[in-house]
Structure 1
Amino acid sequence: MIDIGLTKLAVIGVVALVVIGPEKLPTVARMAGSLFGRAQRYINEVKSEVSREIEIEELRKMQKDVQEAASGFESSVTQTIADTRDSLHSAWDDTPSATYVRTGTTEQLAIKAKNFRKKKLAKNSAVPGWYKNQSGRRVRVISGAARVSKYRPASTPKNSGSFYA
Structure 2
Amino acid sequence: MVDFGFDKLVLIGAVALVVLGPERLPRVARTVGTLLGKAQRYVSDVKAEVNRSIELEELQKMKGQFQTAVNDVQSSVQEQMDAANQSLQSTWSDLSVDGTNADGTIGGYGSPVPVYERPKKNWRLKRGATPVWFKQQQGVRRHAQSGAARVARFRPSRRAP
Q: 1:46 and 1:52 mapped to 2: Cα distance?
A: 10
Q: For 1:14-163, list aligned pairs within 5 A.
A: 14-93=14-93, 95=94, 97-100=95-98, 108=102
How many angstroms does 1:79 deviate by? 0.7
Query: For 1:22, what is the secondary structure of its paired residue?
Result: coil
How many angstroms does 1:87 deviate by? 2.6
After superposition, what is the alpha-carbon deviation per residue over 1:58-112, rounded to whole angstroms, capped at 9, x for unaligned?
Answer: 221211111111111000000111122223333444x4x422478x8xxx458x8
Query: For 2:22, what is the secondary structure of its paired residue?
Result: coil
Q: 1:2 and 1:77 mapped to 2: Cα distance?
A: 62
* Identity among equivalent pairs (%): 45
After superposition, what is the alpha-carbon deviation per residue over 1:35-78, rounded to whole angstroms, capped at 9, x for unaligned?
Answer: 00111111111111111111222221211111111111000000
Q: Which runs of 5+ in 1 are unaligned?
A: 117-165
How many angstroms does 1:17 deviate by? 0.8
TM-score normalised by structure 2 residue count: 0.58
Give the count of matched residue pairs: 106
Q: 1:20 and 1:57 mapped to 2: Cα distance?
A: 50
Q: Which aligned runs of 4 or more in structure 1 are off by greater than 6 angstroms? A: none
Q: 1:23 and 1:57 mapped to 2: Cα distance?
A: 53
CA RMSD of superposed structures (Å): 2.3
2:10 is matched with 10
Q: 2:27 and 2:96 mapped to 1: Cα distance?
A: 100
Distance 1:41 1:31, change over 3 A: same
After superposition, what is the alpha-carbon deviation per residue over 1:92-146, rounded to whole angstroms, capped at 9, x for unaligned?
Answer: 44x4x422478x8xxx458x8xxx9xxxxxxxxxxxxxxxxxxxxxxxxxxxxxx
The amino acid across from 1:60 in the alignment is Q
